[in-house]
Amino acid sequence: MKKVSTFLITLIEVIGLSQCFLHPAISANKPPAKGDLFPAIKLPVPKDLNEKRYLGISDGGSFSILHIKARVLIIEIYSLYCPHCQAFAPEVNALYRMIEQIPGLQDQIKLIGIGAGNSPLEVKAFKEKYGVPFPLFPDEDFAIHKMLGEVRTPYFITIKINKDRTHQIIYSESGGFGEAETFLQTILKASGLK
């Protein structure tokens, strides 16, 4: 009986290891780090005309984040059901307003949110309840969330987008970012905009 048990455990271990080699995403499931490239994701084009203008994208079914007209993109991974995301929403909104009020900066830094596991209806509910002024996108099946290493919410990723549309992550952290003004200064410095 002991030999059968040992054989089964060894077989399970071999199958598990082979799955990691056959599916590298399983073994490489970690949050994006500073200096990494952001995964190639597609988001649905917003129906709201003001959100399309804000992002600088045209009509269509979906778009890549690298098509957003900005030099810096701040992405918040949040969830309607995350109490920390709810509590931190006013500070994220303050960051958006701060960026929009600085002449010239509003064309260079954009902010979006991706609702991990949230449907379009849940995204709409979060947007309305917390008065979110920037575009939010659903990730109903957790596909994007999985690509990002199933990070805890809220999670903030900032991407520097170059003129040739190459990019690099300059900030990647879990939890809130403290005060909006301090965070903005950190991003300006890291991106070279300051």
SS3 percent helix, strand, coil of the chain, rounded to 5, is: 45, 20, 35
Whole-model pTM over 0.85? no
Residue 116 CB-half CA count within 13 A:
21
Under DSSP, is residue 65 helix (H, G, I), strand (E, B) or coil? Answer: helix
Tens-digit pLDDT string for the chain (194 aa): 445 444 433 433 333 333 333 333 333 578 889 999 898 899 999 999 999 999 999 878 899 988 899 999 999 999 999 999 999 999 999 999 999 999 989 999 999 999 999 999 999 999 999 999 999 999 999 999 999 999 999 999 999 998 888 899 999 999 989 899 999 999 999 999 87
